[in-house]
Structure 1
Amino acid sequence: MGTERRPLFCDQALAARIERAEADFMTQCTAAARGRAEGFAMPLAGGVATFADTDSPFNKVAGLGFAGVPADAELAEVEAAFQAHGCPVQVELAALGDPAIGELLTGRGYRLVSFENVLGRALSEAGAAAMPPGIEVRSSGDDELAQWLALDADAVAHPDTEGVPSHEEFPYEVVENSTRDMVATGIRRYSALRDGTLAGVASFRVSGTIAQLTGAATAPRHRRHGVQTALLAARLAAAAAAGCELAVVTTQPGSKSHQNVQRQGFDLLYTRAILVK
């Protein structure tokens, strides 16, 4: 009999590392957008408030909860900065963070609009997964960047309908620009070909010993054929080879992506509450 796999346990120290990695990534993405828009990245109680561009998915507050409670004056400064850009303030607050922050935010008029799940997998357990038949995954070079970006944006424009729907929708141009900003930070890109045709794209970044899976998309006509499974297996193997000990991913609760990563051995680490003012 094989040894039963133990679910990965996430304590506050691990959650703090993951949230710091997220805050650092948002800072880098915002910096990459500066040639196109006048944004900002403001430190806030161990996290960061970022504005990259109009309607950008990088307009948020990330990483709070693990380095004290922000002062009212600090929050007021952040809120004024977002207001100057005509942008609501969105805070992604980890359930393992200081609960006093949630109380502070709701007292200032923030409302709960959604949740997202953070899942993880120890890469010491990662083995070479078999690729589904007819699918090849390879690193994606600059020669196909335009195709890579277009497939990603088109897939986001036609989301799967399983699970809790996202509270956000982004125009095609915004998705393409924000993904280009991610590429500028140095994420590692992959393409999946199904029967020789570009069918899916994905990426990850290394933050210390953490591999952040920074996105994956499958063209609608190639869905339900194992493309996501193949892209996930390839990135896990690459992350392990890069010396990472843990892979993390964010998904919508109950989504197809949530199901796919759980099938590949990911465990739910914690939930983020999305609060907006």
Structure 2
Amino acid sequence: MEPLFCDTALALRIERAEAEFMAACAVAAKARGADPRGFTMRVGGGVANFVEAGSPFNKVAGLGFAGVPDAVLDEIEQAFAAVGCPVEVEVSSLGDAALGVRLTERGYRLVSFENVLGRLLSDVPTYPSDVRPSPDDELPTWLDVVVEAFLHADVEGVTAHEQFSRTTLETAERDQVTTAGTVRYLAWREGTPVGGAAFRAADDGIAQFIGAATQPAHRRSGVQTALLTARLADARAAGCELAVVTTRPGSRSQHNVQRAGFQLLYSRAVLIREERQADTTFRS
């Protein structure tokens, strides 16, 4: 497979898709009755999301490609402070490096990294026989399989900077896999579901691979490879040209997707600014 080079233009496409996915998750959360104070602000070409306390979708994504005035950062910080939530910002290594400097000056601290990998869909392996799309009436089963697997995550690679309860994980997974254009999958072994995953056909030809997890007893047996293969085939059939996945650096998930032909495109730095008192000026 030829090397896949990621320039700033491609990173912008991917980050825009990620920002729109965050916004779609907020819509799904609102539909199920999440915190009525929830908001999605479109800022600097990205989005600032608050869904509810503890949600992994409480973040700012897609910044660093269209300029972010200090007044916009003030507005973001004030909105999160009003709901008592720290501000978490994801910054692409291919975005404007000045953004990271400004965030640090404003009191943000680096807490983690994540890797973004991609694979062109010009060719895909044969569809596996032990994976199939999971219909809507199977959603409870899909959630049980994936959430249980996430609660017993592999420990390889960089440690996650945050941990979530079963309830929070189940709610977040439900929000992201009920967004428009998302297809869920289950992998089966002898009539038992042992792993799950999903993909979302985003705008601009990008397929976002999400929600992949395998039950502990069935790891290292090709389940994730099968789930990747099925999604690659269906993403190509849906007209997508590039599959994208986000992993923790050095994780088993990164190892699996690289074996399936994904290549490292860039990293994101994750920075957090803790909640301040209501009378703060939001200036450093």
When normalised by structure 1's length, the TM-score is 0.94
Structure 2 distance, partners of 1:222, 1:128, is 22
Deviation at 1:151, TM superposition (A): 1.4
Structure 2 distance, partners of 1:212, 1:143, is 23
The answer to whether the Cα contact below 8 Å between 2:225 and 2:256 also exists between their aligned partners in 1 is yes
Which position in structure 1 is the counterpart of 2:103?
Answer: 105
Amino acid in the other structure paired with 2:91: L
Which position in structure 2 is the counterpart of 1:50?
Answer: 49
Runs of 4+ off more than 4 Å: none
Structure 1 distance, partners of 2:167, 2:136, is 20
Percent same amino acid at aligned positions?
A: 60
Cα deviation 1:71-108 (Å, max 9, x = unaligned): 11211111111112221111000000011111110110
Deviation at 1:160, TM superposition (A): 0.4
Residue 144 of structure 1 pairs with residue 138 of structure 2: yes
Deviation at 1:184, TM superposition (A): 2.4
Residue 61 of structure 1 pairs with residue 60 of structure 2: yes
Cα deviation 1:175-231 (Å, max 9, x = unaligned): 111111113213110010012210001000011311000220111111111110100
Which range moved further: 113-122 or 148-157?
Answer: 148-157
Residue 262 of structure 1 pairs with residue 261 of structure 2: no
Cα deviation 1:2-26 (Å, max 9, x = unaligned): xxx3210000000000000000000
Cα deviation 1:118-138 (Å, max 9, x = unaligned): 000000032326x4xxx6100
Find the residue that maps to 1:125 and give its secondary structure: coil
Find the residue that maps to 1:203 and give its secondary structure: strand
Which position in structure 1 is the counterpart of 2:246?
Answer: 250
Counterpart selection for 1:202 from 156, 176, 197: 197
Deviation at 1:113, TM superposition (A): 0.7
Counterpart selection for 2:222 from 226, 245, 252: 226
What does 1:74-89 correspond to in 2, within 5 Å? 74-89=72-87
Find the residue that maps to 2:245 and give its secondary structure: strand
What does 1:150-229 correspond to in 2, within 5 Å? 150-186=144-180, 187-208=182-203, 209-229=205-225
Counterpart selection for 1:17 from 13, 20, 28: 13
Structure 2 distance, partners of 1:184, 1:119, is 23
Find the residue that maps to 2:100 and give its secondary structure: helix
Structure 2 distance, partners of 1:168, 1:19, is 22
Find the residue that maps to 1:124 and give its secondary structure: coil
Structure 1 distance, partners of 2:5, 2:17, is 18
Structure 2 distance, partners of 1:84, 1:225, is 47
Structure 1 distance, partners of 2:120, 2:184, is 21
Find the residue that maps to 1:190 and give its secondary structure: strand
Amino acid in the other structure paired with 1:45: G
The answer to whether the Cα contact below 8 Å between 2:173 and 2:211 also exists between their aligned partners in 1 is no
Amino acid in the other structure paired with 1:184: T
Structure 2 distance, partners of 1:61, 1:194, is 39
The answer to whether the Cα contact below 8 Å between 2:187 and 2:227 also exists between their aligned partners in 1 is yes
Q: How many residues align?
A: 268
Structure 2 gaps of 5+ residues are: 274-284
Structure 1 gaps of 5+ residues are: none
Which position in structure 2 is the counterpart of 1:31?
Answer: 27
